[in-house]
Amino acid sequence: MSEDPNKYVSYQSPLTSRYASEEMSFIFSDQHKFSTWRRLWFYLAKAQRELGISISEDQLNEMESNLDNINFNLAAKHENVTKHDVMAHIHTFGAACPKSAPIIHLGATSCFVGDNGDLINIKEGLAIIKPKLVRCIHNLAKFAETYKSLPTLGYTHFQPAQLTTVGKRACIWIQDLVLDLENLTRTSANIKFRGAKGTTGTQASFLKLFNGDHDKVELLDQRITELAGFSKPFSVTGQTYSRKIDFEILSILASLGTSIHKICTDIRLLAGHKELEEPFESDQVGSTAMPYKRNPMRSERCCSLSRHLGALLSNGFQTASLQWLERSLDDSANRRISLAEAFLTADGMLLTFQSIVQGIVVYDKVIEKRVNEELPFLASENLIAEMVKQGGDRQKCHEIIRKLSHQAGMQIKLSGKENDFLARVQNEPYFAPVRLKLGEIFEPSTFIGRAPEQVTKFLKQEVAPLTETYKEVLDLKTVLLV
């Protein structure tokens, strides 16, 4: 009997098979990783030749023509023997470039390709994340502008509070995302390169290679940094660049996760009240058992991915704090997982989040109904103020309102009836002096303060300048496949 061909199908990460984009998945693919290593070896040889090391133009051309031509089967065979991935790929690259084999990796240590390659991945990963975040901010900004004057019930402690507007609440969301964008922008602009530092960071091997010429060693370090697309190398490193850099990157991505988790939690709560809703497609199924369900699955996915992103932060903390002296290898396996997963998770979360914010549905009649249910109680202070203007006694007015509001409250809680507080006020002889003004006193738009003006100012002064740089990609849409 033949073996089932599907019995031993390998595990695939949901991050690459379901959530993250192809572009981010490629950044952390084997093809990109080892092609990057080969580019680094090419940069090293190119810079060494420029500074007088005996490396021929033919050798450089041979290396450059084989940057992406990787024999992964041969690399696997070498690693099975050497138990060292860098040495395995040195041999594999050498097999493809026999003329260049003698000078590949000259003077370098494993971290020359490992750490520098990771820094390249980090920089490229941030470059993918930033425009996606900007698009989310842009979509929310349009939403905030549209609904900047729509009164809605505000909450503190998830209890009804004073009114705000739908657009003003969205600006609070945007403000957190703007902070995240500022962090991403600052960090990506300031990432330094490990460069050519040698086995323990002293550059001793390169100093030997250049016969004690310190200037050439420094020029080598700077030249490789420039070839890799960075502006500055670290002045000092151990064998590795400081693992605090990883912790900072993971912190920034986790911080982005907290922002999106908070926003999506708010959306889930408001969806429960039927005030607004994330996009729900015509053939989408909310439940296998309950056909009527319209679950906020996108928001729930964002919250779920955000939690994973936050959990990865502890890896960065422990790896940075537990490094021994110039380096210990217990960071290696962890970093292969945590750095890649952090970027893939953040990418998948942003793709899902954009699919939400580009199509939020607002149910203004439900919002109006909820406002009208609570506003009579919320307006009591304004009612007292107006009565005092008409010569009333503040304490007496307060006591009458207290009794009427409690009566209305009991009717809501015990009988499930609507809030009739306003009708009770209208029928109370004490309030005859303001009866004609009750419609004005209880008008929702008079309770939102400067919310519309705050939205306008915030979007103009703080959001528009950030999004202007990305105006060519702001209106790109994302489609959620699963």
> Whole-prediction pTM value?
0.89
Give the model's pLDDT for residue 416. Answer: 83
DSSP string, 45-79: HHHHHHTT-S--HHHHHHHHTTSS---HHHHHHHH
Is 190 among the domain residues? yes
State yes or no: pLDDT of 327 exceeds 90: no
Within 10 A of 255 (CB to CB), how many other CB atoms are there? 17
Claim to verify: residue 409 and residue 260 sit in the same structural domain: no
- Please check whether residues 49 and 130 belong to one and the same domain: no
Question: Which residue(s) pair with 164 in the sheet?
Answer: 152
Give residue 183's pLDDT: 95
Residue 24 sits in which domain range? Answer: 14-103
Looking only at the bridges linking them, the beta strands covering 276-277 and 361-362 are: antiparallel
In a domain, 271, yes or no: yes
Active-site residue, from 287, 314, 321, 445:
287
Q: What is the pLDDT of residues 93-102, one digit of tens each?
A: 999 999 999 9
**344-376 per-position pLDDT tens digit:** 999 999 999 999 999 999 999 999 999 988 888
Q: Say what the pLDDT of residue 287 is.
A: 54
Q: Are residues 248 and 200 in the same domain?
A: yes
Q: Would you say residue 161 lies in a domain?
A: yes
Which of 2, 157, 282, 415 is the catalytic position? 157
- In the chain, helix, strand, coil percent, each to 5? 65, 5, 30
List the structure tokens of 165: 């507007």
In the structure encoding, which two tokens stand for residue 359, read together?
């199509």
Same domain flag for 141 and 35: no
Whether the Cβ atoms of residue 271 and residue 278 lie closer than 8 Å to each other: yes
Q: Which of 53, 77, 103 is the last residue of a domain?
A: 103
- 188 labelled catalytic: no
pLDDT tens by residue, 268-286: 999 999 999 998 776 666 6
pLDDT tier at 171 (50, 70, 90 boundaries)?
very high
pLDDT at 294 over 90: no
Q: What is the pLDDT of residue 1?
A: 45
399 within some domain:
yes
Q: Same domain for 188 and 250?
A: yes
On the question of pLDDT at 232 being above 80, the answer is yes
pLDDT at 2: 53
Interatomic CA distance for residues 98 and 407, integer angstroms? 92
Closest CA to 370 of 418, 324, 428, 331: 418
Strand partners, 152: 164
Span 16-25, average pLDDT: 94
In the annotation, is 380 catalytic? no
**Is residue 220 a contact partner of residue 203, using CB atoms and an 8 Å limit?**
no
Q: What are the backbone angles phi and psi of residue 158, rounded to the nearest 5°?
A: 60, 30
Residues 90 and 191 in one domain: no
CATH code: domain of residue 407: 1.10.40
Q: Give the CATH number for residue 80.
A: 1.10.275.10
Count of domains for the chain: 3
**What's the pLDDT score for residue 7?**
60
Q: How confident is the model at residue 329 (pLDDT cuts 50, 70, 90)?
A: confident
Question: Do both 334 and 384 map to the same domain?
Answer: no
pLDDT at 381 over 50: yes
Report whether pLDDT(289) > 70. no
Banded model confidence at residue 412, pLDDT cuts 50, 70, 90:
confident
Q: What is the pLDDT of residues 455-466, one digit of tens each?
A: 999 999 999 999
Same domain? 266 vs 129: yes
Task: Kindly state whether residues 291 and 150 are assigned to the same domain.
Answer: yes
222: in domain = no
Distance separating the N- and C-terminal Cα atoms of the chain: 37
On whether the CB atoms of residues 344 and 16 are closer than 8 A, the answer is yes
Per mean pLDDT, which range of 161-165, 284-288, 477-481 is the poorest? 284-288
Q: Is residue 468 part of a domain?
A: no
Same-domain check for residues 23 and 60: yes
pLDDT (0 to 100) of residue 154: 94
Q: What average pLDDT does the segment 186-196 reach?
A: 94
Region 250-254 average pLDDT: 97
Q: What is the pLDDT of residues 385-403, one digit of tens each?
A: 888 998 999 999 999 988 9
Higher-confidence residue of 457 and 421: namely 457
Beta-strand pair 276-277/159-165:
unpaired
Co-location of 266 and 406 in the same domain: no
What per-residue string of b and e applies to 157-191 under the rule 16 or more CB within 10 Å gives b?
Answer: eeebebbbbbbbbbbebbebbbebbebbbebbeeb
Judge whether residue 4 has pLDDT over 70: no
For 433-451, letters b (16+ CB in 10 Å) and e give ebeebbeebbebeebbeeb
Residue 390 belongs to some domain of the structure: yes
Q: Which two tokens stand for residue 422?
A: 């306003």
What is the CATH classification number for the domain harbouring 288? Answer: 1.20.200.10
Determine the Cα–Cα distance for residues 229 and 116; give it in Å rounded to an integer. 11
pLDDT, residue 415, reads 82
Confidence of residue 301 (pLDDT cuts 50, 70, 90): very high
Which pLDDT value is given to residue 480? 78
Position 12 confidence tier, pLDDT thresholds 50, 70, 90? confident
| pLDDT average, residue stretch 143-164 | 94
Asked if residue 3 belongs to a domain, the reply is no
The residue from 336, 362, 388 where one domain ends is: 362
pLDDT at 10: 79
